[in-house]
Amino acid sequence: MPTLDDGKTEELHRDLLSLQQEIWRLLRLTSAGVRPVDLDEPIGRLTRMDSLQMQSLAKASRQGLEVKRRQVQAALEAMAKGEYGICRRCEGPIGFRRLKVRPETPFCLSCQEALEAEH
């Protein structure tokens, strides 16, 4: 039971591919910034704290990108199997308007909200 017509699936497929390109680009950019802080380096206390903070920020955004990258990958695989647009939790349709905003999302809006409320 397809929840999206071919035209919409095609449009979201293009969205997913450009999102994937963008994530790869950002991952390449941020990888240059993630260097381990050398604690033996003779730098002031404040500078050291700053660079530790920068490092954890870069790491956090990389982790976010990694999660997104995997979601995009899973969405493309689901599309290939004809299962795209179906919520992984309740198996209901996610809906085109939500997919247009977040084409990589594996959940419908109410499941997403329920999952976020659990955390």
Give every CB contact of residue 69 below 8 A, 6+ residues apart in sequence: 20, 23, 24, 27
Listed in sequence order, the residues at least 6 apart from 95 whose beta carbon sits closer than 8 Å to its beta carbon are 3, 85, 108, 109
Of 13 and 88, the one with the shorter C-beta distance to Zn ion is 88
CB of 119 to Zn ion, least distance (A): 17
89 binds Zn ion (CB under 5 A): yes
Q: Which of 67, 90, 114, 115 binds Zn ion (CB under 5 A)?
A: 90
16 near Zn ion, judged by CB under 5 A: no
CB of 95 to Zn ion, least distance (A): 10
| Interaxial angle between packed helices 6-31 and 45-80, expressed in degrees from 0 to 180 and rounded to the nearest 10 | 150
Instruction: Single out the segment in contact with Zn ion by CB under 5 A; choices: 22-30, 44-52, 64-72, 109-117.
Output: 109-117
To Zn ion, the closest distance from the beta carbon of 25 in angstroms equals 31
Measured CA to CA, the distance from residue 93 to residue 107 in angstroms comes to 9
Is residue 111 a contact point for Zn ion (CB under 5 A)?
Answer: yes
3-state SS, residue 87? coil
Binding site for Zn ion (CB under 5 A): 87, 89-90, 108, 111
